[in-house]
A and B are shown apart, each in its own frame.
Chain A
Amino acid sequence: MPESIVIENLSKYYNKFLAVDNLSLSVTENSNVGLLGPNGAGKSTTLKIICGLIHASSGKVYVNGISVAEKPEQALSRIGAIIETPEFYSFLTPEETLSYLGKLRGMRSDHLRNRIKEVIRRVRLEEWSKIRIEKFSRGMKQRLALAQALLHDPPVLILDEPALGLDPRGVVEFRELIEEAGHEKTVFFASHQLVEVAQICNEVAIIDRGHLLAYDKIAQMEEKYQSLESAYLQLTGGIP
């Protein structure tokens, strides 16, 4: 299987603090990989480097074979991303926001209009599509974040704690949406929620202090450590 994301010897320093330490891993096409790790493990930093938001101190990242550092625009055209808890321009409505982002991605008017309707329906924001975002709750903004990530139908989804701020029903709906999208896309998904990762992903990478501790199929991880939770705790130095 071709590789959608390739991370080679990636390191990132914030001044003297080493956030990612010589990380290497590959995500094959159409696989759904969960990136697990405690706070400060380097999950968000890794995803931000993939999305070109921060520069690596050393190492390389490729998306669909394109170097993020050398050709960021080409690499980003293959990605749909939700990083942290993003904010939107409060003076725009969801429709206008998606129209702006779609135009920036070069989507043609007719196709863009249809896609906007489709993704707004998928994230259940139909009733709010013409209302300015200044009135939106955190959960509604997260739904819109997913809508913009799916808008251009990218082959790769990069998601950093995408269900943060959602109510329990929203979390369930969100998982279903990502699971559905994951059937035909590569999903690289950082989370603290083991249940969420187990439901959406078929593989998991566990990192701590910027190091890759394990990267395997969830079924094999469960077989080796009895459960994903047990694997996580043992590998990250929690309960043995």
Chain B
Amino acid sequence: MSEFDKLRVVTGYEFLKHIRRRRLYIILGLTVLVEAAVLIAVPLLMDGYPDNVMVMAAMLSIGPSLATIGAVFFAGDAIAGEFEGKTGFILFTNPVRRTTLVTGKYLAGLAAVVLLIILGYVIVSISLLVIYGTVPVETAESFGLCLLYGGAVLSVTFFFSSISKGSMGATVITLVFIMVVSSVIDGILVMADKPHWFLLSTNGDSIATVYGGYELFLEGLPMGGRNIPSGWMENPDISLMILSMVIYLVAGFVLSVLISRRRQLA
């Protein structure tokens, strides 16, 4: 039996795990809920939907963005859980390379995230079609960036899972890394008018800013973007952000494989 056949087996059963676990449906529910909240709150707070379809599309992209964070909950226990929960005593005594096991787990996690992202964009597209009668072509770009961001988040989570003793620790560290550490550095660099395209939190913003930049978010607000320091409105180069996400994706995954291969189940 080839390693590729084993990879297919591992991916299939790991995906079954995601399908049977509650967390997939919780994140699915949250994604739908957030989209519903945007669709209900925007006309109530802004006297109807914005005239510019791009503004609404950018606002609705919060749902799929949330779905990508689901990757953290799918992957937090992917590697650490085998060691913490002692399931590794069964899995690792099989004639399968650790590389195959980690890759299978990664692909299954990615499939679950992609599923959620697709659902998010189905909601976005249907909503825009019903409200505006059109879906901007940028939605496809946003979808692509969202997939890439989901993969990058998954890889970063796999890295933390490979070095953590427990699943909870890996999940919390990843969330803190993305939502606190990366965001705080992001904020500091923006205020200092320095490049910040290499931060994962900035990369996540690209899912919405692809519709027209940061200034689009301020459209319709009472301040309308006035008195905002110029650096805050600067949009990082999208190609640099894509490069950054590819680096997170590849580096996180490769490191998680290398560390898992060396890790011992004592």
Contact = CB atoms under 8 A, between A and B. Distances in A.
Interface of A: 14, 45, 48, 51-55, 72-74, 76-77, 79, 81, 83-89, 91-92, 96, 100-101, 103-106, 145, 148
A89 to B, nearest CB: 6
Nearest to B19: A91
A91 B21 contact: yes
B209 to A, nearest CB: 38
B169 interface: no
A48 B90 CA distance: 12
Interface in B64-115: 85-90, 92-97
B85 A101 contact: no
Given A48-B266, A54-B266, A100-B13, A87 B92 contact: no
A96 B12 CA distance: 12
B164 to A, nearest CB: 18
Interface of B: 1, 5-6, 9-10, 13, 16-17, 20-21, 85-90, 92-97, 264-266
B219 to A, nearest CB: 46
B93 A103 contact: no
B214 to A, nearest CB: 42
B17 A87 contact: no
B17 A104 contact: no
A72 B89 CA distance: 15
Return the 10 tightest CB-CB contacts between A and B, nearest first. A106-B1, A86-B89, A73-B95, A54-B264, A77-B95, A76-B95, A91-B20, A53-B265, A87-B86, A81-B93
Contact of A86 (B9, B87, B94, B264): B87
Contacts of B94: 76, 101, 104-105
Contact of A88 (B16, B90, B93, B265): B90
Determine which residue in A77, A88, A89, A106 has the highest number of CB atoms from chain B within 10 A of its CB, and name it.
Answer: A89
Contacts of A79: 93
A51 B264 CA distance: 11
Given A86-B90, A148-B90, A48 B265 contact: yes
A52 B92 contact: yes
A52 B17 CA distance: 26
B95 A145 contact: no
A218 B191 CA distance: 77
Given A76-B93, A100-B9, 10 more contacts: A48-B266, A53-B88, A53-B92, A81-B89, A89-B13, A103-B9, A104-B6, A105-B94, A106-B5, A148-B90
A101 B87 CA distance: 12
Determine which residue in A45, A74, A79, A91 has the highest number of CB atoms from chain B within 10 A of its CB, and name it.
Answer: A91
B90 A104 contact: no
A51 B266 CA distance: 11
Contacts of A52: 92-93
Contacts of A84: 86, 89
A99 B208 CA distance: 44
15 contacts: A53-B92, A53-B264, A53-B265, A53-B266, A72-B95, A74-B95, A76-B94, A77-B95, A79-B93, A84-B89, A100-B9, A100-B13, A105-B94, A106-B6, A148-B90
Contacts of B89: 53, 81, 83-84, 86-87
B95 A88 contact: no
Contacts of A105: 1, 94-95
Contact of A91 (B10, B16, B96): B16
A36 to B, nearest CB: 21
Contacts of A106: 1, 5-6
A106 B93 CA distance: 14
